[in-house]
């Protein structure tokens, strides 16, 4: 049986993780995998999460199934957090997903049933896992321009030239905030233009909302998502609690479908439930229930929002420090864009051979396309990192 198989290509992020773990050099720096790290280099369990887990431990009476749609109260809390009434709730249906990726899987599978062989437009570049998710759903990936490698900003004119030419049969995947991998994001005014274009062409928006609160704040980061879904008759959102609640391994997410009316929403809901039942049968609940407890408890919610702000502000501080350190050493503004970007990532625009040299010679690990996880920057070694980056660029 297995002789017919070929070895699958491993995800480059996990390959890099293994290489980093095996590297014995004490001075190594991990800018690869997308997890938040505190000043000690640890991905912490949030205090609000610990308290919610303690409440859960004390009150939970059963581990039985929640049902195919999952934790309804969790979904309701996330719906309010993300949309805050931007659309009529009667048009919305939610199911839990295994993290943001699981939510995307559910939604793309449904879209593949609605438009078999349909075109799904991804930003160039995008999160690498968007591509196999698209192909596994019987959709055909296409790309729209997004990032200008010269300016390190959004190439908005080129982006809109493609989006304005789409049709009602096309699907567009949009990063709701904190674009991965570039860190370059749309302004509110640009979101308005995107929403108007989608309304005019009828193209269907699928929004990946994996970093809500990591950019400029919960309300600020939700602007684009709310603007789009309130402007078009149908849309979908994949929400992840991995980053903003620090629940990476708990796989807590929500797949949201917004239909023209309640009747249509019921049809889409049945399809989402069918996908879940035929794949994982039931979604996990521990992380979902932790988030529900936090969002429904005023004190825990306030504590979580304070912790989220602390993470966000630390990443902004690291961006500024690295950009300043490079400018001081080079007398150049070439890397000032790092401070201008927002969220967890920035795309440095380095050649692959330079990235390889940083890994082998300097023990600085980043993805081959030169995406860095800003939260992985050791704050007490910013100057050292700046020196290594400049030396590698000049070599």
Closest Cα to residue 368, out of 346, 352, 357, 379?
Answer: 352
Tokens of 264: 């249509």
3-state helix, strand, coil in the chain (%, to 5): 50, 15, 35
Angle formed at CA 272 by CA 267 and CA 273, multiple of 5 degrees: 95
Burial 274-304 (b: 16+ CB within 10 A, else e): ebbeeeeeebbbbbbbbbbbbbebeebbebb
What is the spatial distance between Cα 23 and Cα 267, in angstroms, rounded to a whole number? 51
What is the spatial distance between Cα 339 and Cα 350, in angstroms, rounded to a whole number? 17
Element (H, E) at 273: helix 262-279
| C-alpha dihedral sign at 121, 124, 129, 131 | positive
Tokens of 172: 């567009």
Phi, psi dihedrals of residue 189, rounded to the nearest 5°: -65, -35
What is the spatial distance between Cα 184 and Cα 177, in angstroms, rounded to a whole number? 9
Phi, psi dihedrals of residue 43, rounded to the nearest 5°: -85, 105
Show which residues are catalytic. 127, 208, 210, 243
**Complete DSSP assignment for 142-192:** EEEE-EETTTTEE-HHHHHHHHTT--TT-EEEEE-SS-TTT-----HHHHH
Tokens of 257: 């479908």
Neighbours of 271 (CB within 10 A): 19
Kindly list the distances between the CA atom of residue 79 and the CA atoms of 37, 282, 371, in Å, as whole numbers in the listed order: 27, 20, 31
**Strands 371-373 and 345-347, bridge-based pairing:** antiparallel
């Amino acid at each position: 049986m297995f002789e017919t198989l070929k070895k699958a290509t491993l995800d480059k992020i996990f390959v890099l993780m293994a290489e980093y773990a095996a590297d014995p050099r004490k001075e190594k720096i991990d800018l690869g995998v997308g997890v938040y790290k505190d000043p000690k280099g640890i991905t912490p369990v949030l205090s609000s999460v610990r308290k919610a887990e303690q409440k859960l431990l004390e009150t939970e009476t059963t581990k039985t199934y929640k049902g195919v749609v999952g934790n309804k109260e969790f979904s309701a809390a996330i719906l309010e957090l993300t949309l805050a009434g931007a659309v009529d709730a009667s048009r919305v249906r939610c199911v839990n997903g295994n993290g943001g990726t699981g939510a995307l899987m559910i939604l793309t599978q449904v879209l593949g049933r609605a438009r078999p062989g349909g075109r799904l437009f991804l930003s160039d570049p995008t999160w690498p896992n968007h591509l196999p998710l698209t192909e596994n759903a019987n959709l055909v990936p296409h790309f729209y321009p997004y990032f200008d490698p010269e300016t390190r900003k959004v190439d908005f004119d080129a982006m809109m030239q493609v989006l304005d030419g789409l049709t009602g049969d096309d699907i567009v995947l949009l990063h709701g905030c904190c674009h991965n991998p570039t860190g370059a994001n749309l302004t509110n005014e640009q979101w308005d233009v995107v929403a108007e274009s989608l309304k005019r062409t009828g193209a269907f928006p699928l929004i990946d909302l994996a970093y809500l609160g990591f950019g400029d704040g919960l309300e600020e980061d939700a602007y684009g998502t709310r603007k789009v879904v309130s402007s078009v008759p149908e849309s979908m959102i994949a929400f992840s609690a991995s980053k903003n609640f620090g629940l990476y391994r708990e796989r807590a997410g929500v797949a949201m479908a917004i239909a023209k009316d309640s009747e249509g929403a019921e049809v889409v809901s049945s399809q989402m439930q069918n996908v879940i039942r035929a794949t994982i049968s039931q979604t996990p609940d521990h992380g979902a229930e932790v988030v529900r407890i936090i969002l429904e408890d005023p004190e825990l919610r306030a504590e979580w929002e304070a912790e989220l702000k602390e993470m966000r502000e630390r990443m902004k501080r690291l961006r500024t420090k690295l950009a300043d350190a490079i400018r001081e050493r080079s007398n150049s503004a070439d890397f000032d864009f790092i401070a201008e970007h927002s969220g967890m990532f920035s795309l440095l625009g380095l050649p692959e051979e330079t990235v390889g040299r940083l890994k082998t010679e300097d023990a600085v690990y980043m993805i081959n396309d030169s995406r860095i996880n800003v939260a992985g920057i050791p704050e007490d070694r910013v100057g050292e990192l700046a020196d290594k980056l400049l030396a590698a660029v000049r070599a």
